[in-house]
């Protein structure tokens, strides 16, 4: 043992073997202390169970192999040089080929090197792997013959350029562990026992040098637990702070609410009743509600929003409802206006591009308090929109807005209550992580009169039959919708395609029908006109781009045909499908698949197999990952290193129990009772906690 043990916070250049150049490179990769280094987890592991003999690799399979480079060098190609190496073991040999970066790889891989290689085997004259992932191995490290489990690390370009590879990490970390005292744990032993997790010290050693797959699993569990724990703790602290935002309680339910409640021509579902109670309870408290209402398309969120609004107005507060598109805003306005009149509330709409005179009138009505409820789009967050007493903010399809937009609207009142709604059911694990600082309400029940929609994927050969089926439907008074995708890069040509198709269909197959065309380039008046005609059954067939996605509620529409369905995401298809089946007539969703890929086939099959938005969102999340799912890839929201919110559902529930149970105290008490947990929380999330305070 050296005289002086290492400390976690020591810089890396205090280690032998790390000179200034490597030290700089590692810092660039975000690794500057010993603590950073041992928290740099392997990306995968090699052992006897997942390495196969080179002689047995098969074309088209994904393999891990280990061998020696027999020959390597640049080869002249037709256009440019490429790099080729022959890797062999006792059982056979295989070619590794690099077309890109050939000269660079030529400097890194030499005859005699031992490599661990992963990639897909292809046949091109002979079996080979093109652009494989590879790691240099030390001659002494042999995952095949020694029975060790070998760690492979993420090696981004900055590291590779300075010849920092997995071998380097294994060597340096092994050396550190020889000199490092036991790593202090956040959690006491009885806590660890209760949640069945191993000590931090053990986990951090095993994650780099696992003794067995079982002990590796335990290490992974402990480290995942850490990440979920501090994430949830951060959420719970933010939640605690938010719960303290004082606001005017909206306790009374006046004549406004009663008039509406007694005049709706259906009975609320049990789920709607439950959620209404949750909202009412929140509104009556002197702290601002922050509630997310999830409910599948057609589950009846709007009526709850209206009832909530009526409670606010009963208490002399104003209400703002913000929707992401004009069409959706129009629809809400229509729904709100009708019931607002019943409840003797004044309701106005504010959207972009209104005549100045009308806009001025609404703005002054909001400022004086004459208008109780305003429905609108982003136009609501403009500077000169001032409220007399904004008590409740409702945001529909919240994922279409940025956090800042929602906050801008809320800032027009004094900590107003907030209800956000989404028709994109969010898988539970995501909801409690991503939206964990809000309260959740879920409408998990459709109104009784709904008949499930039948969904069918077809190719274009079947179109003629389907068109004639649509004609039958229209002849018996129903309405149909055809949707064309708009893809951003080629928006123009796609639009042309939709217009062409409209011309063609309306002149030929559907010439006896009234056909309307709806797309984003139309003037607002034109759009409104078409939507109105479709609502009033003056248009039998609506051909549309995806502008129709949210917001049309025409219970008489029974067929939704989606062209190029493979271009849409699952959630979007589910949204589109939700435009039909809103009444009490049997409805159909036809997905026309023009191009077949493995992934699209799978997606369309899922659509055929279920109408349950929660199942669909789960699948969507699995297929696309959480970043894509929320369109927040860049935001760094999920910067977990080892935790996975898609697959860690059970663990997340355990962690939540721990956080909201044992650690359910506020920041000040946490600081005094468990300093080490407090410090780690501040280190990881301190800025977020502060930011969420200052945003309010």
Shortest distance, position 280 Cβ to ligand ADP, whole Å: 17
Residue with tokens 């100045």: 356
Shortest distance, position 612 Cβ to ligand ADP, whole Å: 15
Nearest to 502, CA basis, from 519, 520, 525, 478: 519
Looking at beta carbons, which residue is closest to ligand ADP?
Answer: 300
Residue from 268, 306, 339, 606 touching ligand ADP (CB under 6 A): that is 268
Shortest distance, position 296 Cβ to ligand ADP, whole Å: 7
| Residues 542-561, interacting with ligand ADP (CB under 6 A) | 553
Binding to ligand ADP by residue 298, rule CB under 6 A? Answer: yes
Binding to ligand ADP by residue 303, rule CB under 6 A? Answer: yes
Residue 437 contacts residue 461 (beta carbons within 8 Å): no
Both tokens assigned to 198: 């191993």
> What is the distance between the alpha carbons of residues 296 and 614, in angstroms, rounded to a whole number?
8
Question: 176-214 in b/e burial notation, b at 16+ Cβ within 10 A?
Answer: bbeebeebebbbeeeebeebebbbbebbbbbbbbbeeee
Binding segment for ligand ADP (CB under 6 A), chosen from 141-149, 159-167, 176-184, 262-270, is 262-270
Binding to ligand ADP by residue 301, rule CB under 6 A? Answer: yes
Residue 114 contacts residue 134 (beta carbons within 8 Å): no
> What is the distance between the alpha carbons of residues 127 and 111, in angstroms, rounded to a whole number?
20
Residue 304 contacts residue 276 (beta carbons within 8 Å): yes
Shortest distance, position 419 Cβ to ligand ADP, whole Å: 13
Whichever of 105 and 423 has its CB closer to ligand ADP, that residue is 423
Binding to ligand ADP by residue 266, rule CB under 6 A? Answer: yes
Residue 1 DSSP class:
-
Binding to ligand ADP by residue 321, rule CB under 6 A? Answer: no
Shortest distance, position 322 Cβ to ligand ADP, whole Å: 14
Binding to ligand ADP by residue 581, rule CB under 6 A? Answer: no
Whichever of 298 and 391 has its CB closer to ligand ADP, that residue is 298
Binding segment for ligand ADP (CB under 6 A), chosen from 267-275, 313-321, 456-464, 493-501, is 267-275
Binding to ligand ADP by residue 42, rule CB under 6 A? Answer: no
Binding to ligand ADP by residue 582, rule CB under 6 A? Answer: yes
Nearest to 268, CA basis, from 300, 295, 223, 244: 300
> What is the distance between the alpha carbons of residues 224 and 119, in angstroms, rounded to a whole number?
27
Nearest to 604, CA basis, from 658, 564, 656, 550: 564
Binding segment for ligand ADP (CB under 6 A), chosen from 75-83, 88-96, 300-308, 512-520, is 300-308
Residue from 447, 485, 625, 627 touching ligand ADP (CB under 6 A): that is 447
Residue from 247, 272, 317, 617 touching ligand ADP (CB under 6 A): that is 272
Binding to ligand ADP by residue 297, rule CB under 6 A? Answer: yes
Binding segment for ligand ADP (CB under 6 A), chosen from 86-94, 294-302, 377-385, 484-492, is 294-302
Angle between the N-to-C axes of helices 301-314 and 270-283, in degrees from 0 to 180, rounded to the nearest 10: 30
Instruction: From residue 149, give the alpha-carbon distance in Å to each of 170, 210, 491, 693.
Output: 12, 6, 51, 46
Using CA atoms of 351, 357, 360, 362 in order, give the dihedral in degrees to the nearest 10: -60
Read off φ and ψ for residue 375, nearest 5 degrees. -110, 135
Whichever of 6 and 335 has its CB closer to ligand ADP, that residue is 335
Whichever of 118 and 269 has its CB closer to ligand ADP, that residue is 269
| Ramachandran bin of 503, using left for φ above 0, alpha for ψ from -120 to 50, beta for the remaining angles | alpha
Whichever of 60 and 262 has its CB closer to ligand ADP, that residue is 262
Give contact residues for ligand ADP (rule: CB under 6 A).
266, 268-269, 272, 295, 297-303, 423, 447, 449, 553, 582
């Amino acid at each position: 043992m050296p005289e002086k043990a290492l400390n976690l916070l020591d810089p890396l250049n205090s280690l032998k073997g790390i000179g200034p150049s490597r030290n700089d490179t590692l810092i660039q990769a975000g690794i500057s202390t010993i603590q950073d280094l041992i928290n740099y987890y392997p990306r995968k592991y090699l052992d006897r169970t997942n390495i196969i003999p080179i002689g047995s690799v098969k074309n088209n399979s994904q393999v891990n192999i280990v061998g020696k480079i027999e020959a390597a060098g640049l080869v002249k190609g037709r256009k440019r040089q490429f790099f080729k190496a022959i890797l062999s073991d006792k059982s056979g040999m295989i070619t590794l080929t690099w077309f890109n970066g050939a000269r660079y790889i030529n400097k890194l891989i030499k005859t005699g090197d031992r490599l661990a290689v992963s990639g897909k085997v292809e046949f091109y004259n002979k079996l080979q792997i093109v652009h494989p992932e590879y790691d240099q191995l030390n001659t002494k490290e042999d995952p095949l013959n020694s029975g060790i489990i070998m760690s492979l690390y993420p090696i981004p370009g900055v590291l590779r350029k300075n010849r920092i590879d997995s071998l380097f990490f294994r060597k340096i970390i092994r050396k550190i562990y020889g000199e490092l005292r036991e790593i202090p744990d956040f959690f006491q032993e009885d806590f660890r026992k209760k949640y069945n997790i191993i000590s931090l010290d053990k986990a951090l050693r095993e994650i780099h040098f696992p003794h067995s797959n079982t002990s590796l699993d335990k290490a992974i569990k402990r480290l995942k637990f850490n990440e979920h724990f501090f994430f949830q703790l951060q959420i719970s602290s933010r939640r605690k702070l938010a719960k303290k935002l004082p606001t005017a309680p909206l306790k009374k339910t006046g004549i406004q609410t009663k008039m509406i409640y007694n005049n709706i021509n259906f009975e609320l579902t049990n789920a709607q009743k439950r959620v209404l109670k949750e909202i009412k309870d929140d509104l009556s408290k002197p702290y601002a509600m922050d509630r997310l209402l999830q409910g599948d398309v057609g589950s009846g969120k709007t009526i709850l929003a209206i009832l909530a609004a009526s409670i606010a107005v009963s208490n002399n507060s104003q209400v703002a409802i913000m929707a992401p598109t004009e069409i959706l805003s129009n629809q809400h306005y229509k729904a709100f206006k009708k019931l607002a009149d019943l409840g003797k509330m004044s309701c106005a709409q504010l959207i972009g591009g209104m005549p100045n005179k009308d806009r001025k009138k609404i703005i002054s009505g909001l400022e004086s308090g004459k208008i109780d409820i305003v429905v609108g789009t982003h136009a609501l967050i403009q500077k000169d929109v001032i409220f007399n007493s904004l008590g409740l903010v409702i945001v529909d399809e919240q994922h279409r807005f940025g956090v800042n937009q929602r906050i801008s609207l809320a800032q027009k009142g004094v900590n107003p209550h907030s209800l956000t709604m989404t028709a994109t059911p969010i898988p539970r694990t995501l909801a409690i992580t991503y939206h964990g600082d809000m309260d959740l309400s879920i409408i998990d029940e459709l109104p009784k009169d709904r008949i499930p929609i039948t969904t069918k994927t077809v190719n274009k050969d079947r179109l003629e039959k389907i068109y004639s089926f649509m004609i039958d439907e229209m002849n018996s008074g129903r309405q149909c919708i055809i949707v064309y995708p708009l893809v951003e890069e080629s928006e123009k040509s796609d639009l042309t395609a939709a217009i062409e198709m409209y011309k063609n269909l309306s002149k030929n197959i559907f010439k006896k029908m009234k056909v309307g065309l709806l797309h984003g380039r139309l003037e607002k008046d034109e759009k409104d006109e078409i939507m109105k005609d479709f609502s009033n059954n003056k248009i039998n067939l609506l051909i549309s781009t995806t502008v129709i996605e949210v917001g049309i509620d025409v219970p008489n529409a029974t067929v939704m045909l989606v062209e190029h369905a493979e271009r849409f995401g699952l959630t979007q298809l589910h949204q589109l499908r939700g435009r039909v089946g809103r009444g009490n007539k049997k409805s159909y969703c036809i997905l026309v698949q023009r191009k077949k890929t493995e992934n699209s086939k799978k997606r369309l099959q899922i659509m055929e197999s279920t109408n349950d938005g929660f199942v669909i969102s789960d699948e969507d999340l699995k297929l696309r990952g959480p970043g894509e799912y929320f369109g927040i890839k860049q935001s760094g929201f999920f910067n977990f290193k080892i935790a996975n919110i898609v697959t860690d559902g059970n663990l997340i529930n355990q962690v939540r129990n721990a956080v909201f149970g044992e650690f359910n105290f506020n920041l000040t008490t946490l600081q005094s009772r468990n300093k080490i947990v407090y410090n780690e929380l501040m280190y990881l999330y301190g800025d977020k906690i502060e930011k969420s305070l200052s945003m309010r």
